[in-house]
Amino acid sequence: MTKKTDFQVETLTAQAAGFHRTGHSGLVPSLELATTYDRSHGPGPVYTRDQNPSYLPAEELLATLEHGSQAMLFSSGMAAATSVIESLESGQRIVAPKAMYWALRRWLSTFAARRGVEVTWVTPHVIDEWQVALRREAQLVWIETPANPLLELTDISAVSELAHRAGAQVVVDNTTATPILTQPLRLGADLVMHSATKSLNGHSDVLAGALVVKDAGSALWAYCRAERAMRGAVLGPFEAWLLLRGMRTLPLRVRQASQSAAEVAQFLKQHPSVLEVFYPGLAMAEQRELANKQMCGGFGSLLSFRVRGGGERAARVVKRLELFRDATSLGGVESLVEQRARVEGPASGLPDDLLRLSIGIEACGDLVIDLMIALEE
């Protein structure tokens, strides 16, 4: 019989519910709403804050897609990320990129000051900066690639090697790339983190997070599992059920959105009203080489561009767009636009004329026409 790991991702995701033994003949798993279990029935789940059978199919699928040994669902991406970083004790050190999800970057700064943890911030795509930062001991290294919102890539293999020599474990926020395009654990990372709110679920109707580990016997994994249970950072069973349903179409959605994003990026690149386009598929030199090495099957659904004429003009473009909705988030079936500097506030550091697009699965021609009309003014 063929082993589950021999199947391709399209098969694994489409049949995910069926691969997981449900104990009945339904083609989708049952929804387990019980928060507590009768102990007289012997071993099994005890209480939902520790574990619920509804988490298992999505956790197993994600662990398989990421080539990890175990996965854990959390109540949000932030809950997953902060559970790992909370493992740092006073006097320890984390090396993190200057460009990372802005709310996590802000949380990390205040957490580090409060806990007495040292943060060394590096420019994500400059390997020399990682090299200098990892010349001395560290406990954690955080990578987000492609990084939000300028889509700089970090070389996971190279940074993991440096990190391990410095005694640090490597966590990769793989939200933007998804396991369809990049599998960080195969490149040397120790943990993968996801905002499952984004492409994994893909339908803008579930807030969820996830961690995937290479070595389920590690002390860090035990810490994260205890943190999830003790802080109650668990997902509701219905959200876990919906997440599995979303993931069953993940490869189709990611490939379609990546293909459209590449076409939209090409369109914007030649448009006279566009100053600059940020997309891994359009990157130059070393970043281009890295994109080809590290991302397989596409460059993702996220891109940013600068509008000629400044922030006010960019704001007008957002208003003139009809298909692209002015909303935060990414990785959904519907396309979104955001003027990130205005969302992030005065400390953002991003140019006010920068618009970030999350490309959905609409007909690409319709998206291009929407942009063409909005940029016409």
The residues carrying an active-site annotation are 49, 101, 173, 198
Instruction: Name the one residue in this structure whose structure tokens are 């070595």.
Output: 215
82 binds ligand PLP (CB under 6 A): no
Min CB(76)–ligand PLP separation in Å: 3
> Is 197 a residue that touches ligand PLP (CB under 6 A)?
yes
Provide the mask over 102-121, with x wherever binding to ligand PLP is found by CB under 6 A and - wherever it is not. --x-----------------
Kind of pairing, strands 169-173 and 191-195? Answer: parallel
Reduced 3-state DSSP string for 274-338 = EEEEECHHHCCHHHHHHHHHHCCCCCCCEEEEEECCCHHHHHHHHHHCCCCEECCCCCCCCCEEE
Distances, alpha carbon 187 to alpha carbons 58, 170, 192, 297, 314, in Å: 23, 11, 11, 16, 38
Instruction: Return the residue of 48, 83, 195, 260 that touches ligand PLP, per CB under 6 A.
Output: 195
Smallest distance, Å, CB 230 to ligand PLP? 19
Interaction between residue 78 and ligand PLP (CB under 6 A): yes
280 lies in the site for ligand PLP, by CB under 6 A: no
Q: How far is the CB of 197 from ligand PLP (least distance, A)?
A: 4
Give min distance, CB of 28 to ligand PLP, in A: 24
Minimum CB separation of residue 324 from ligand PLP in Å reads 17
Among residues 134, 207, 350, 374, the one that binds ligand PLP under rule CB under 6 A: 207
Could you give the angle at the alpha carbon of 245 between the alpha carbons of 240 and 251, nearest 5°? 120
User: Tokens 């500097």 — which residue?
Assistant: 341
**What are the DSSP calls for 211-259, one per residue?**
EEES-TTSHHHHHHHHHHHHHT-PPPHHHHHHHHHHHTTHHHHHHHHHH
- 77 touching ligand PLP, by CB under 6 A: yes
b/e per residue, 183-213, with b = 16+ CB within 10 A?
bbbebbbbbbbbbbbbbbbbebebbbbbbbb
Cα–Cα dist 229/52, whole Å: 11
For the CA atoms of the chain, what is the radius of gyration? 21
168 binds ligand PLP (CB under 6 A): no
By the rule CB under 6 A, 281 interacts with ligand PLP: no
Stretch binding ligand PLP (CB under 6 A), from 121-129, 173-181, 264-272, 338-346: 173-181
With CB under 6 A as the contact rule, the residue among 32, 63, 101, 374 that binds ligand PLP is 101
Site string for ligand PLP, 121-150 (x = CB under 6 A): -----------------------x---x--
Residue 92 makes contact with ligand PLP by CB under 6 A: no
Out of 69, 76, 249, 287, the only residue in the binding site for ligand PLP (CB under 6 A) is 76
Q: How far is CA 209 from CA 16, 58, 206, in A?
A: 19, 11, 10
- CB closer to ligand PLP, 202 vs 209: 209
| Lateral strand order in the sheet of 302-307 | 274-278, 302-307, 354-358, 336-338, 325-326
Based on CB atoms, which residue is closest to ligand PLP, 101 or 324? Answer: 101
- CA atoms lying within 13 Å on the CB side of residue 289: 4
8 A C-beta contact, residue 358 and residue 310? no
Q: Which residue stretch of 171-179, 245-253, 332-340, 367-375 sits at the interface with ligand PLP (rule: CB under 6 A)?
A: 171-179
Report the residue number, 190 or 370, with the smaller CB distance to ligand PLP: 190
Q: Considering the rule CB under 6 A, would residue 233 count as an interface residue with ligand PLP? A: no
Chain residues binding ligand PLP by CB under 6 A are 76-78, 101, 104, 144, 148, 173, 175-176, 195, 197, 207, 209
